[in-house]
Structures are given as structure tokens and as C-alpha cells.
């Protein structure tokens, strides 16, 4: 596990003034990575690192050869159109580059004058997915979400008997992953209307979001070689935000016996910034099961995992309707959860995914599944907040929602904070629902 070091010192400041403002997502203690270019420029995408309200252009920085050794090699990898090469270089390379960037961007750095010209305002940038994602797996790691959804469909038996033992997941569709800001048409699919006995092909009437944490794989593993729990995090580059948009009426008709299909594969939104595990080191938390719950099997358990296997990441969902936008009103927060409450940890997901010898590749993406907390206001989907559509959510604008309507814009936000450390954030993940094509 990555440990706390000098890069996390809360006293560090940056020569980029905006990075020193309280409450910002991107102080010098964070330094997340993305793939970007100037908006509308037609330039090649390349790696960038967030600092304050700007992006340090790693493509231009690499051309100047400011670093040596492993940090220099990692910078060359980060200058490419995607971050796959940097991710595949492994945790030591990513840590070396982050350490060198921390030195270069902090107050008093001899590189300040030269690097100032390499800053691009985030407001003037456009992004692509941080990596070319070869495979995408979506887990179901929140027991609070699984229980709440189970109660809607199986009131007498909300959790199936395997849930507490197996990190449940399905193989998602990598081709429909899109970076934040993607606006998509309401999807169609086969669904069974209430009271009907014959299904129909129609636009979904129960469109939903899912508040998830994304996990980008770093160093891969060979086919046939499993990754032990103790070394699982050495195969993880970092975390981001993920919205696995879902058509609930399509899902309820098609999901048995093989799970989600058209209900999920039309769009999955991913935030541009990837926060490294090194940056998250101060925000680890104990992972533990409530008393009386079964312990995980040995390959998913360990003292290190129990002591600090979870991540304390605050998660929020905000909704802006078309009416709010037209009136100049502010978006409304719908829920607030924490990744710390996940039943399965990042390391456990990686260890289970590979226990049968499945090979992960640099840039592969794992979704945590919808993250919900134990309280009603911590639900990570409208399916839960509206009790399956039976209890509409009333908005400050006077509107009500059971599921998403055309024109609705959903925004996810996330951050970590703890006394004695600087707050760091993940930026935003947004997406807007358009009318059916």
C-alpha cells in the first residue's frame, strides 16, 4: 500500500496561486492525471496533470527533459495520447513522476518560470478517456445498494446467498465508455409494461444514474497468473468517478438469467481526472465487517486489508433539470455517500477478478457498482431514492422525479478530507439526457 510521504505535507504550497485556495480539488498534494488537448484545436491529445485551475502540459514538459531516471521515463510515457503506457509502467514509475512534479510545482521550485508557460486553463481544455480501455468490468460492491434494490424485487429475500461471499460483477461494454460531458439520447430496448404479457420495443421510461467509483488498472498480470490480495494495489493506477447509466425497465425484463445487457451498454460516463493511489494515501480507512457477518475467504482477507484497505472518499450526486437551467437556478444535491462503506475493497475486487487466472491489462477499467450508504439520503441511484418509482423525489423547483427526464443533467463530485491533510478532489463527472433519437 502507498504510504504518506513528503508530497502529502499540508504545509506545501504551489507557485500556481489557485492551487492554494481552500476547498479546491487540485492542490499540489493531489496532482491527478488526464488526457487532454486545447478545446477545438485539433491538437494531439497528451497527458496532463491538474494544478489549481490549470493543467500542466506533460507533452510539452517531456520535450524539455526536466527530470532524470525513472521520473523521466514515466514523463515520456505520460506524454502519449493516452495514459496506458504510464499506467503499465507500474506504481514505482507513477510515484516517481508524481514526486518529481510535486517538487517542480511547489513554491520555490527552480522550474517555476519555465513551467508557467506550459500551463493550460482547464476551462480551455477538452478531454478524452484517460486510457484506451480494452476491457471494462462493473462490480456490485455496495451491500447497502444491493439490499435496497433487493427489497424492491424480493422483499422476503433481498440479498441472494452468494452476495456476502463473492465480489459480484459483470463484463461491461468498453466501446460505449465516454468521458465527462457526454450527452446521450434516451435509449430504447425491449421492456414489459406493467400489466402486460407481451413485451414491446420502446424508449426507456425508467432511466437512472449509478454513483460509482472507477478503478484504472496499472501494471497487468499474465493470463493464468492470479494477483494475490497483498499485491493487488500494485496493479492499480488510480481512482476516478463513473456513472453507469441504467434503463431500469429494460433491465428488469432482460437481466435473468445472465445479467445486464442493453440496459447498461448504451453509455457509461467516466470523469477525466484519475487520482493516484499515492495521492489517496492519507485517506485510507479500516475495512471491517459488522459483528456476526461471515469473514471473507482467505484469498480475500488479510491484516493489512483490515487495517487500511478502504478509502474515505465522499461522493455526491447533483441534478439540474432543464427548467432549473432555463430559470438560472442552481443544481440540487440528491444524495451524499462514502466509498468507505463499500462491502468489497479495491484490492479485493482485483484479487477476485484474477483468482481464476484472468489477465488484466494496463488501462482496463473496473467499476465499483453503485455506492450507497446505510441512510436514505445516501442512496446512489434514483431507483433507491424513489423506492422503485413509488416515492417521487420533490425538487426545490417544484418538480418531481422518480427517474430521469429529458434535459436532466447529472453531476457527480467527490473529495477526501481529514484533519492534518489538505483536501483533495476528483473534479466533476457530468452527463445530460437528450430525447430519444
Positive or negative: CA dihedral 276, 279, 281, 284: negative
Task: Spell out where 159-287 has E strands.
Answer: 169-171, 177-179, 182-185, 188-191, 200-203, 207-208, 211-217, 236-243, 246-247, 268-270, 275-276, 284-285
DSSP string of 67-105? --HHHHHHHHHHTSSSSHHHHHT-HHHHHHHHHHHHHHH
Question: Does residue 353 have an active-site annotation?
Answer: no
Cα 100 from chain centre: 25
* Cα 418 from Cα 425, distance rounded (Å): 12
Selection from 342, 333, 313, 349 nearest residue 427 by Cα: 313
Q: What strands, in cross-sheet order, belong to the sheet with 424-434?
A: 182-185, 424-434, 409-416, 314-320, 332-338
Tell me how crowded residue 133 is: count the other CB atoms within 10 A of its CB: 22
Strand 236-243 with 268-270, pairing: antiparallel
For residue 411, the surrounding DSSP H or E stretch is strand 409-416
> Are 369 and 145 spatial neighbours (Cβ–Cβ below 8 Å)?
yes
Q: Please state, in angstroms and rounded to a whole number, the distance separating the CA atoms of residues 424 and 417.
A: 7
Peptide bond into 257 cis (omega under 30): yes
**Which entry of 8, 145, 235, 352 is annotated as an active-site residue?**
145
Active site positions, annotated: 145
Amino acid at each position: 500500500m502507498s504510504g504518506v510521504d513528503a508530497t502529502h505535507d499540508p504545509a506545501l504550497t504551489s507557485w500556481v496561486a489557485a492551487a492554494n485556495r481552500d476547498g479546491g480539488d487540485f492542490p499540489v498534494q493531489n496532482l491527478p492525471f488526464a488526457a487532454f488537448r486545447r478545446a477545438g484545436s485539433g491538437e494531439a491529445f497528451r497527458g496532463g496533470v491538474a494544478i489549481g485551475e490549470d493543467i500542466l502540459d506533460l507533452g510539452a514538459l517531456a520535450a524539455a527533459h526536466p527530470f532524470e531516471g525513472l521520473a523521466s521515463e514515466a514523463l515520456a510515457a505520460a506524454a502519449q495520447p493516452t495514459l496506458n503506457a504510464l499506467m503499465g509502467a507500474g506504481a514505482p514509475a507513477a510515484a516517481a513522476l508524481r514526486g518529481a512534479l510535486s517538487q517542480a510545482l511547489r513554491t520555490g521550485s527552480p522550474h517555476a518560470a519555465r513551467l508557467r508557460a506550459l500551463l493550460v486553463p482547464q476551462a480551455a481544455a477538452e478531454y478524452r478517456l484517460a486510457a484506451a480501455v480494452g476491457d471494462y468490468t462493473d462490480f456490485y460492491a455496495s451491500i447497502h445498494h444491493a439490499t435496497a434494490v433487493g427489497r424492491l424485487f424480493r422483499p422476503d429475500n433481498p440479498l441472494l446467498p452468494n452476495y456476502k461471499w463473492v465480489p459480484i460483477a459483470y463484463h461491461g461494454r468498453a466501446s460505449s465508455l465516454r468521458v465527462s460531458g457526454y450527452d446521450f439520447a434516451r435509449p430504447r430496448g425491449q421492456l414489459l409494461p406493467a400489466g402486460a404479457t407481451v413485451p414491446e420495443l420502446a424508449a426507456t421510461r425508467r432511466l437512472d444514474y449509478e454513483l460509482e467509483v472507477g478503478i484504472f488498472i496499472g501494471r497487468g498480470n499474465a493470463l493464468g497468473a492470479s494477483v494475490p490480495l497483498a499485491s493487488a494495489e500494485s496493479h492499480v493506477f488510480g481512482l476516478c468517478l463513473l456513472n453507469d447509466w441504467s434503463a431500469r425497465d429494460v433491465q428488469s425484463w432482460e437481466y435473468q438469467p445472465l445479467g445486464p445487457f442493453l440496459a447498461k451498454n448504451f453509455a457509461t460516463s467516466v470523469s477525466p481526472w484519475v487520482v493516484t493511489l499515492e495521492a489517496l494515501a492519507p485517506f485510507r480507512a479500516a475495512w471491517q465487517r459488522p459483528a456476526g457477518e461471515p469473514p471473507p475467504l482467505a484469498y480475500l482477507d488479510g491484516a493489512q486489508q483490515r487495517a487500511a484497505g478502504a478509502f474515505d472518499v465522499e461522493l455526491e450526486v447533483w441534478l439540474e433539470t432543464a427548467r432549473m437551467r432555463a430559470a438560472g437556478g442552481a443544481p440540487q444535491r440528491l444524495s451524499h455517500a462514502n466509498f468507505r462503506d463499500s462491502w468489497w475493497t479495491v484490492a479485493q475486487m482485483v484479487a477476485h477478478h484474477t483468482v481464476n487466472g484472468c489477465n488484466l491489462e494496463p488501462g482496463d477499467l473496473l467499476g465499483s457498482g453503485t455506492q450507497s450508504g446505510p441512510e436514505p439520503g445516501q442512496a446512489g441511484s434514483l431507483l433507491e431514492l424513489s423506492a422503485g418509482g413509488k416515492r417521487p423525489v420533490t425538487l426545490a423547483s417544484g418538480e418531481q422525479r422518480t427517474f430521469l427526464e429529458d434535459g436532466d443533467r447529472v453531476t457527480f463530485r467527490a473529495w477526501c478530507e481529514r484533519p492534518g491533510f489538505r483536501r483533495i478532489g476528483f473534479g466533476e463527472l457530468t452527463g445530460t439526457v437528450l430525447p430519444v433519437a
